[in-house]
Amino acid sequence: MGNNNTMSDMANIALVTVEGDLDVRTVPALRRRIDRLASRGCRRIFLNMSGARYVDSAGMGLILTELRRMRGEGGLLSLVNVSPQAYQALRRMRVFDYMPVSRAGERRTVSALDPSVLPDWRTTFRVEPSALGEARERVGELLSSLPFSPDEVFDMTLASGEALGNAVDHTCGGGVLATVAAYPDRVTIEVADCGDGFELAADEEPPEAGPCAERGRGIRLMRLLADSVSIGHKSTGDGTVVRLVKLFDEASGVSPAPGALG
């Protein structure tokens, strides 16, 4: 890993920060890093473009080539924190037609739910430590019944998987519950455990040191995937609830979850 780039990674998700322009000089090293991540099984890569003011044809080629590779392997590459200058270049090349791109400072505002608004449907199920894969699949199937794009379903399934994995690994593997609820403008996914209580507001930075540092790293990555991530104490008993929120592009009627999943 070069000195001009930093990276945080987990088994399935990686954030690669590119400092400096994405051009013919920097492409080879960046390509090696992305290829190394993909070869190790990473299926979701974010390129943090906050330091890139310019993207030349070599940079465009890298983005599109690596995107095709990731999609071919069942994964996804996207760009975040894109500067205004680079954003215009990417728009002219119609990169937005093929992958998620977000500009610097672009973050959807998630308002609090009106307590009087009831979900269109809600499903809760127990997550067994030996069946994390099945739990992730169930969440993905529930999300697929909602007005999300395949990329959004992919991201929220990954975010849910991180929350489920943290709950099983760091708290009490036998007492994890997952709840998926669909509202007119959003979906919420709650993962409750029976471990030590922990609180973190949606706009609060996770810890970088101490006993919760590892969980904090997972929270940062989940926030790349979801519109809001917060953590609070369970309303009854001991434990923590991780709450993920993803807004629909526009308010729409929500069909009941498929009966086979209920």
Does 3 or 33 have the greater pLDDT score? 33
Alpha carbon 13 to its chain's center: 8
Helix or strand or coil: residue 61?
A: helix
Predicted model pTM: 0.78
- Domains along the chain? 5-103 (3.30.750.24), 121-261 (3.30.565.10)
H/E element, 157: helix 150-170
Q: CA 111 to CA 167: how far, in whole Å?
A: 26
When pLDDT is averaged across residues 120-143 and rounded to a whole number, the result is 93
When pLDDT is averaged across residues 237-245 and rounded to a whole number, the result is 85
The pLDDT tens digits for 63-72 are 999 999 999 9
Q: Contact at 8 Å (CB) between 231 and 170? A: no
pLDDT of residue 12: 78
The pLDDT tens digits for 103-117 are 876 777 888 888 899
Does 211 or 87 have the greater pLDDT score? 87
pLDDT of residue 19: 75
Model confidence at 214, pLDDT cuts 50, 70, 90, reads low
Q: CA 110 to CA 125: how far, in whole Å?
A: 26
pLDDT of residue 262: 43
pLDDT of residue 196: 67
When pLDDT is averaged across residues 1-13 and rounded to a whole number, the result is 47
Buried b (16+ CB within 10 A) or exposed e, 62-81: bbeebbeebeeeebbbbbbb
